[in-house]
Amino acid sequence: MRRATQQSGQEPVRTLPADLTEAINRAGYYPSLVVDVVESAIAGDEVVSHLVHQETTFDSETVRRHVTVLVVTPDRLVIAHADDHAEPDEKLMATATTETVPLTAVRGVMLTHVVAEPDTFTPGTHGRDITLTLGWGAVSRLDMIPAQCGDPECAADHGFEGTIASDDISLRVSSAADGEDAVGRALAFARVLSASIGGGHARRP
């Protein structure tokens, strides 16, 4: 179901689903601004799944806030970032950036799970930290290490070997800091996106 409505003689009015708007409000970072830029990027398309992640970092004596909104529509991944922008005259400013990626262009969805006391882990529980990494080719990371051969006595220079990994965005969600519900929402979003990138079309689970 598309979220755009048409009024007589006017442009379509775009509204976000209530649960996405609530998540943006809960994050607390200039929600009116974030809702506006996300609505513009989605352009009335159906929201299949979404994830809102708020992060606060400390830089010397400055506290910086940052929010990331990820939205899966039937054919696109929409990414929105908003964060504090420092000016020399200390004028309060924020920047908000959106990017739209076709699902056919998303190359990978990687989840890293960090679990304490894995010997007592119960399947289906969320008592863990996860890092969600998405790649669509905009940014690539090259990891290089010295190449080696099988001879432990060999002192020859074999050059380097490495791997290229797509690493466009990475979000860490902690059950301790963000709550177990936040981990569950991140896992649910990752499942929807992972199931969508092969055929390039997303459907509700």
- Res. 79: pLDDT tops 80: yes
Gap between the Cα atoms of 47 and 50, Å rounded: 7
CB 13 within 8 A of CB 5: yes
- Res. 33: pLDDT tops 50: yes
CA-nearest of 65, 69, 18 to 42 is 69
**Within 10 A of 185 (CB to CB), how many other CB atoms are there?**
21
Top-confidence range, 61-65, 101-105, 138-142 = 101-105
Per-chain mean pLDDT for the chain: 80
Name the residue with higher pLDDT: 130 or 61: 130
Name the residue with higher pLDDT: 200 or 37: 37
Q: What pLDDT is recorded for position 130? A: 92
Top-confidence range, 27-41, 151-165, 185-199 = 27-41
pLDDT digits (tens, 9 = 90+) for 46-57: 999 999 999 877
Amino acid at 12: P
Task: For the chain, report the end-to-end CA distance as a whole number of angstroms.
Answer: 15
Top-confidence range, 151-155, 160-164, 184-188 = 184-188
- Res. 38: pLDDT tops 90: yes
Q: What pLDDT is recorded for position 9? A: 47
Gap between the Cα atoms of 74 and 60, Å rounded: 42
Token digits of residue 29? 């970072």
Reduced to 3 states (helix: H, G, I; strand: E, B; else coil), residue 11 is coil
Name the residue with higher pLDDT: 123 or 110: 110
Could you give the angle at which helices 31-42 and 18-27 cross, rounded to 10 degrees? Answer: 140
CB 145 within 8 A of CB 173: no
Average confidence (pLDDT) over 154-178:
71
Q: pTM here? A: 0.77
Gap between the Cα atoms of 133 and 111, Å rounded: 6
Amino acid at 197: I
153, exposed or middle or buried, with CB in 10 Å at 0-12, 13-18, 19+?
Answer: exposed
Burial track 18-43 (b if 16+ CB lie within 10 A, e otherwise): eebbebbeebebbbeebbebbbebbe
Average confidence (pLDDT) over 161-168:
54
